């Protein structure tokens, strides 16, 4: 089967740019907010509407392709990644930011074929930052090539952390301990509230490493490729190869830096299933 990557790439760039207009319109107006797994796991009418638009338009163009979307999964649709060409979609990564009017929000779309992501787009329409990558062709921000920092020393690093949505005391303790272990050595810790934009900040060299437990495949399928195409290293926080369905990620500007962070971490396990 021949894949016309250029056609896929152009199509998704056009669609994401249109979807960005809807996100921007919704950003500063009052919106209907609901909760999902718990009282801090939020969803808005915009998340659902944008995912519907993206899936509908992509399905019309590529009727044999499969889809994994954050909101479709929340509504009970199968979210297992197979070898089929699969579009992995987070309509709004950073939903809590979106609800609060904090501008770190992004539309994320990745295309995986044989379980490998080959096209990635992460668009922050509020700041007008478009990050993109095609496997083997480098990473770009608004069309210009980006490179990670190449930092090798934790002592000189700006690290991104995250608390995510779990309020389980044991999970919160592990995450707090991880932050504590890192801040003892690093220049700083930052929290963005968007897994995808965290990885894009590594990709463009503004931060040096990122660790998160509990995010989902749609939060980082696209930005993982963008980070790697910008020269960064991604793995499971234990140092094992990354599995996008395992809900844990360590990304660092270099493998040396990842190897300094990994032993500091208390690891949290998830059932290897990407459903909410």
Catalytic residues: 70, 90, 92-93, 95, 219
- Beta carbon nearer to ligand IPD, 219 or 229: 219
124 touching ligand IPD, by CB under 6 A? no
The residue among 93 and 229 lying less far from ligand IPD, judged by its C-beta, is 93
List 20, 26, 94, 125, residue binding ligand IPD (CB under 6 A) = 94
**Min separation Cβ 164 and ligand IPD, Å:** 4
How far are the Cα atoms of 20, 55, 95, 158 from residue 209, in angstroms, in the given order? 27, 32, 22, 7
Q: Which of 125, 214, 231, 237 binds ligand IPD (CB under 6 A)?
A: 214
Asked whether position 95 contacts ligand IPD by CB under 6 A, the answer is yes
Task: Please report whether residue 73 would count as binding ligand IPD according to CB under 6 A.
Answer: no
Site string for ligand IPD, 177-196 (x = CB under 6 A): ----------------xxx-
**Cross-strand partners of 235:** 250
224 near ligand IPD (CB under 6 A): no
Least distance between ligand IPD and beta carbon 182 (Å): 16
Of 132 and 223, nearer to ligand IPD (C-beta) is 223
- Which residue number, 134 or 159, has a Cβ lying nearer to ligand IPD? 159
Is position 71 an interface residue for ligand IPD (rule: CB under 6 A)? no
Nearer to ligand IPD, 113 or 126 (CB): 126
Assigned token pair, 194: 């968007």
Minimum distance of ligand IPD from residue 16's CB (angstroms): 15
Q: Any contact of residue 26 with ligand IPD (CB under 6 A)? A: no
The smaller minimum CB distance to ligand IPD, of residues 58 and 196, is found at: 196
Q: Does the protein bind ligand IPD through residue 219 (CB under 6 A)?
A: yes
Backbone angles phi, psi at 216, to 5 degrees: -115, 170
Q: How would you write the chain as a 3-class SS string?
A: CCCCHHHHHHHHHHHHHHHHHHHHHHHCCCCCEEECCCCCCEEEHHHHHHHHHHHHHHHHHCCCCEEEEHHHHHCCCCCCCCCCCEEEEEEEECHHHHHHCCCCCEEEEEEEECCEEEEEEEEECCCCEEEEEECCCCEEECCEEECCCCCCCHHHCEEEECCCCCCCHHHHHHHHHHHHHHHCCCCEEEECCCHHHHHHHHHCCCCCEEEEECCCHHHHHHHHHHHHHCCCEEECCCCCCCCCCCCEEEEECCHHHHHHHHHHCCCCCCCCCCCC
Rounded to an integer, what is the distance from CA 10 to the centroid of its chain? Answer: 21
Determine, following the binding rule CB under 6 A, whether residue 215 of this chain makes contact with ligand IPD. Answer: yes
| Token code pair at residue 187 | 């220049």
Contact status: 237 vs ligand IPD (CB under 6 A): no
Alpha-carbon distance 230 to 206, whole Å? 12
Stretch of residues binding ligand IPD (CB under 6 A), selected from 137-145, 210-218, 227-235, 254-262: 210-218
Q: Site residues for ligand IPD, window 27-66 (CB under 6 A)? A: none
Q: Which residues in this chain contact ligand IPD in the complex, by CB under 6 A?
A: 70, 90, 93-95, 162, 164, 193-195, 212, 214-216, 219
């Amino acid at each position: 089967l021949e894949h016309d990557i250029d056609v896929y790439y152009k199509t998704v760039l056009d669609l994401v740019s249109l979807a960005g207009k809807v996100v921007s319109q919704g950003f500063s107006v009052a919106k209907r907010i609901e909760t999902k797994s718990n009282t801090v796991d939020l969803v808005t009418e915009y998340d659902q509407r944008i995912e519907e638009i993206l899936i509908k338009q992509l399905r019309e163009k590529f009727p044999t392709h499969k889809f994994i979307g954050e909101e479709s999964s929340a509504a009970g649709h199968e979210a297992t990644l197979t070898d089929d060409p699969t579009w992995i979609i987070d309509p709004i990564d950073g939903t809590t930011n979106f609800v609060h009017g904090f501008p770190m929000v992004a539309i994320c779309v990745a295309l995986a074929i044989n379980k490998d992501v080959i096209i990635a787009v992460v668009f922050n329409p509020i700041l007008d930052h478009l990050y993109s990558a095609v496997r083997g062709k480098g990473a770009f921000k608004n069309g210009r090539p980006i490179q990670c920092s190449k930092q090798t020393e934790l002592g000189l690093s700006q690290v991104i952390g995250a608390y995510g949505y779990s309020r389980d005391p044991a999970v919160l303790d592990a995450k707090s301990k991880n932050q504590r272990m890192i801040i003892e050595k690093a220049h700083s810790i930052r929290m963005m509230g968007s897994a995808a934009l965290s990885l894009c900040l590594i990709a463009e060299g503004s931060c040096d490493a990122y660790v998160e437990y509990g995010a989902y495949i749609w939060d980082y399928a696209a930005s993982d490729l963008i980070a790697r195409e910008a020269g960064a290293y991604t793995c499971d926080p234990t140092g094992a190869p990354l599995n996008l369905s395992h809900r844990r990620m360590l990304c660092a500007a270099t493998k040396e830096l990842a190897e300094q962070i990994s032993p500091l971490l208390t690891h949290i396990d998830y059932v290897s299933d990407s459903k909410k």
